[in-house]
Structure 1
Amino acid sequence: MTTETVFLHMDNRIAHLTLNRPQVLNAMDVDMLKELVQKLKEVAVNDEIDILILSGSGRGFSAGGDIKSMLSSSDESAFSPIMETISEMMTTLYTMPKLVISAIHGPAAGLGLSFALAADYIIADTHSVLAMNFIGIGLIPDGGGHFFMQKRLGESKAKQVIWDGKQMSADEALTLGLIDEVVREDLQGAVLKKVSNWLKKPVKAMVQTKLILAQSSLPELEKILELEKQGQQAMRRTADHQEGISAFLEKRQPNYVGR
Structure 2
Amino acid sequence: MESTSSTGTVLVTCTERTATVTLNRPESMNAINPAMLNDFIYALKEVDENEDIDVVILKGNGKAFSSGGDIKMMLGSDEENGFDSLMDGISELVTTLYFMPKLTISEIHGAVAGLGLSIALATDYLIADSQSKVAMNFIGIGLIPDGGGHFFLERRLGEVGAKELIWEGKVLTAHEAKEKGLIHEVVEGSLEQAVEKKVQIWLKSPVQAMIKTKKILSEKNRPLLIKMLEIEKAAQMKMRQTEDHKEGIRAFVEKRKPVFIGK
| TM-score (normalizing by structure 2) | 0.96
Structure-1 residue corresponding to 2:185: 181
Alpha-carbon shift at residue 72 of structure 1 (Å) = 3.4
Given the alignment of the two structures, is residue 133 of structure 1 paired with residue 125 of structure 2, yes or no? no
Distance 2:115 2:16 in 1: 30
Given the alignment of the two structures, is residue 194 of structure 1 paired with residue 198 of structure 2, yes or no? yes
Distance 1:148 1:24 in 2: 25
Alpha-carbon shift at residue 11 of structure 1 (Å) = 1.6
Structure 1 gaps of 5+ residues are: none
Match of 1:115 among 105, 115, 119: 119
Q: Which amino acid aligns with 1:87?
A: S
Distance 1:245 1:198 in 2: 43
Structure-1 residue corresponding to 2:146: 142
Distance 1:151 1:190 in 2: 25
1:3/1:177 Cα in 2 relative to 1: closer, same or farther (>3 Å)?
closer
Q: In the TM superposition, what are the counterparts of 1:1-259 in structure 2 within 5 Å?
A: 4-259=8-263
CA offsets 1:110-130 (integer angstroms, 9 cap, x no match): 000001000100000011001
Alpha-carbon shift at residue 70 of structure 1 (Å) = 3.4
How much is the aligned-residue C-alpha RMSD, in angstroms?
1.1
Is the 2:11–2:24 contact (alpha carbons within 8 Å) kept by the matching residues of 1? yes
CA offsets 1:117-157 (integer angstroms, 9 cap, x no match): 00100000011001000000000000000011111111110
Q: Percent identity?
A: 57
CA offsets 1:132-188 (integer angstroms, 9 cap, x no match): 000000000000000111111111101100101010000000000111000001000
| TM-score (normalizing by structure 1) | 0.97
Is the 2:7–2:39 contact (alpha carbons within 8 Å) kept by the matching residues of 1? no
Alpha-carbon shift at residue 249 of structure 1 (Å) = 1.0
CA offsets 1:20-52 (integer angstroms, 9 cap, x no match): 000000000001111111111111111100000
Structure 1 segments, 4+ long, off by >2 Å, are 72-77
66-75 or 134-143: which moved more? 66-75
Distance 1:83 1:3 in 2: 20
Alpha-carbon shift at residue 74 of structure 1 (Å) = 4.9
Q: Which amino acid aligns with 2:164?
A: Q
Q: Which amino acid aligns with 1:71?
A: L
Residue-pair matches, total: 258
Tell me, what secondary structure is at the counterpart of 1:100? strand
Q: Which amino acid aligns with 1:117?
A: L
Distance 1:103 1:153 in 2: 21
Alpha-carbon shift at residue 3 of structure 1 (Å) = 7.6
Tell me, what secondary structure is at the counterpart of 1:154? helix
Distance 1:54 1:111 in 2: 14
Distance 2:43 2:74 in 1: 23
Distance 2:7 2:28 in 1: 14
Distance 2:22 2:247 in 1: 34
Q: Which amino acid aligns with 1:90?
A: V
1:103/1:241 Cα in 2 relative to 1: closer, same or farther (>3 Å)?
same
Distance 2:236 2:73 in 1: 17
Q: Which amino acid aligns with 1:213?
A: L
